[in-house]
Amino acid sequence: MFRQIRRLRDRGVAFCPASGRQYNSLRRLFAPVADELCYLCENGGALYGPGNPGPLLDRTPLPREEALALCADILAREGCEVLISGVNTSYLCPRRYDLSRHLRDEVGNRVTVLDAPEDTPEEIVKVSLYTAPPVEPFREEFRLRWGNRFRVAVSGANWLDFTIADKGSGLRRICGALGVPMESVMAIGDNDNDLSMLLCAGRPVIMENAAEPLRARFPEHCLRVEDTLALL
């Protein structure tokens, strides 16, 4: 993967991880090339340019009172935890599950534990519901309750994300900053939170292990991202 990223860079092709993860976690995943990339983090809620650390290009915060009301709704549900995202810190208010070790040591996030969501010391760019899988039973319920105020997207077996931005709007803002037309963008995705990005990219590609509705919607599929990049 890193060999392909460097090869594309030498041809003037930028590579941008687009993820629900935070900036610190993505830099750790892409450590060999971390300083060279742009980053679309928190499902489009925070955008970073290249560098060490790269500049924060843009953020899209949630209305604070509505975000805190959403946090309270999540915490009122049996078996659910809340993760509150700033631009580069995860804030947790553990009840049954303490996710801090997992997020810090395995995912690579910066983590702070709070007594209550109201103690979050910065703008909130994403709120996430965590539950033991599957998260699907909560999706429609929370879409009905909150879908008129936030974008709601499954982001893995355990996670449901709530944002104002999405990967599509984040991709447009990054491409605007780089001067790249959307028809020149290839986007590769595999989950619900990738749909907006896939719809606005000139060449959308779906992973073979993606959910069937996504694979049926987009005709170009791939088994491994690096193999697809090698053909460019």
Span 41-87, pLDDT tens digits: 999 999 999 999 999 999 999 999 999 999 999 999 988 999 999 99
Domain coverage including residue 175: 2-60+167-230
94 and 147 inside one domain: yes
Query: What pLDDT score was predicted for residue 85?
Result: 97
Token pair of 122 as six digits: 């910065």
Which of 125, 141, 163 marks a domain boundary?
163
Residue 26 has pLDDT above 90, yes or no: yes
Number of compact structural domains in the chain: 2
52 and 78 inside one domain: no
Query: What pLDDT score was predicted for residue 134?
Result: 84
First-to-last alpha carbon distance for the chain, in angstroms, is 13
Which of 108, 133, 163 marks a domain boundary?
163
Please state the rounded mean pLDDT for residues 121-128.
97
Identify the top-confidence range among 61-65, 154-158, 177-181. Answer: 61-65
Give CA–CA dist 194/216, Å, rounded.
14
70 and 155 inside one domain: yes
194 and 115 inside one domain: no
Which of 135, 163, 191 marks a domain boundary?
163
205 and 156 inside one domain: no
Residue 169 has pLDDT above 90, yes or no: yes
Query: What pLDDT score was predicted for residue 40?
Result: 97
